[in-house]
Structure 1
Amino acid sequence: MSRKPRISKAAAQSLQLGHQVETPASPDQAKVDRVPNPHPGTDYLVRFVAPEFTTLCPITGQPDFAHLVIDYVPGQWLVESKALKLYLTSFRNHGGFHEECTISIAKRLVKEIKPRWLRIGGYWYPRGGIPIDVFWQTGKLPGGVWVPDQGVAPYRGRG
């Protein structure tokens, strides 16, 4: 028999899930909800892929685009997916360099859900003809956890 995570009624009402929520005006204003991990004693991988992440260049104000891949091994908490989507969407009007956005997302998730391990790959589309890829992870991957390749091909122009 599967075990259902227990969320108190008050905690469930505080989640953005199941409620109409406006897009946060900035990443700092975004709420990152977490829910109990139904298998806290089991090491397994959770992957989120955001192939249409957008933000703004802090100098020119022009849009920047990235394909983000977030892998993590949960501890006691999972990130709630609607909250993650709203958080990522909050970057649309945020001015930040590729490195700042990628690392800020990872560190915010670590702060909120305290995973056993987390890795982010930020595959940024070219700006000025140069693609920028940003990678970060916490510590060492727990033994025995299978982590597939992030599946994002390196950028190849017309050559």
Structure 2
Amino acid sequence: MNPLHLGQTSALPVSPEAAVLDYVPNPRTGRPYLVRFTAPEFTSLCPVTGQPDFAHLVIDYAPGETIVESKSLKLFLGAFRNHAAFHEDCTVGIAERLVAEMMPVWLRIGGYWYPRGGIPIDVFWQSGEPPAGLWVPAQDVPGYRGRG
């Protein structure tokens, strides 16, 4: 496992499909622990109008044999900037790719999308039940309230 991005200058991938995610060995295999990545400025494009969509993503996972390298994850998420897809496709697609490649013990994602057309959309997905004994804190992202 030789990370392609760590310690290197890396350009933003042209698409999520073209993005290469790097994985490194889990330094604490056999111990249940949770890793959280928060991307409060995630962007993609509406596939109908081409207008930008914005979300606050929270990715929680319990590592298996590998962990995802954070710079490659940042580049992967950044590749959605010019990617046209519905909220559901972006959110679940990110999780499914991580699960397929990294093979974590457990993973969940919360996609808290900002409103377009007056309706915020929140999308949630998880790979199954969390392992016994794993501390899984609440994501604590409040629902959208507007100017309240």
TM-score higher than 0.5:
yes
Match of 1:96, as an amino acid?
Answer: A
Shift of residue 26, structure 1, vs aligned partner? 0.2
149-158 or 45-54: bigger deviation: 149-158
Aligned Cα root-mean-square deviation (Å): 0.9
Shift of residue 155, structure 1, vs aligned partner? 1.0
1:45-96 deviation digits (Å, cap 9, x = unpaired):
0000000000000011000000000000000000000000000000000000
Aligned length: 148
Paired with 1:158 and 1:108, the residues of 2 have a C-alpha distance of 35
Matched, 1:15 2:24: no
Normalization by structure 2: what TM-score? 0.97
Shift of residue 112, structure 1, vs aligned partner? 1.3
Q: Which residue does 1:151 correspond to in 2?
A: 140
User: Which segments of 5 or more consecutive residues in structure 2 lack a partner in the other structure?
Assistant: none
Matched, 1:31 2:20: yes
SS at match of 1:149: coil
The correspondence for 1:43, drawn from 5, 15, 32, is 32
Matched, 1:140 2:101: no
User: Which segments of 5 or more consecutive residues in structure 1 lack a partner in the other structure?
Assistant: 1-10
Q: Which residue does 2:48 correspond to in 1?
A: 59
Paired with 2:146 and 2:62, the residues of 1 have a C-alpha distance of 34
Paired with 1:89 and 1:35, the residues of 2 have a C-alpha distance of 20
The correspondence for 2:116, drawn from 127, 134, 142, is 127
1:130-153 deviation digits (Å, cap 9, x = unpaired):
000000001110011111110201
Paired with 1:158 and 1:69, the residues of 2 have a C-alpha distance of 23
The correspondence for 1:102, drawn from 91, 99, 104, is 91
SS at match of 1:41: coil
Paired with 2:111 and 2:30, the residues of 1 have a C-alpha distance of 29
Shift of residue 157, structure 1, vs aligned partner? 2.5
| Residue identity (%) | 67
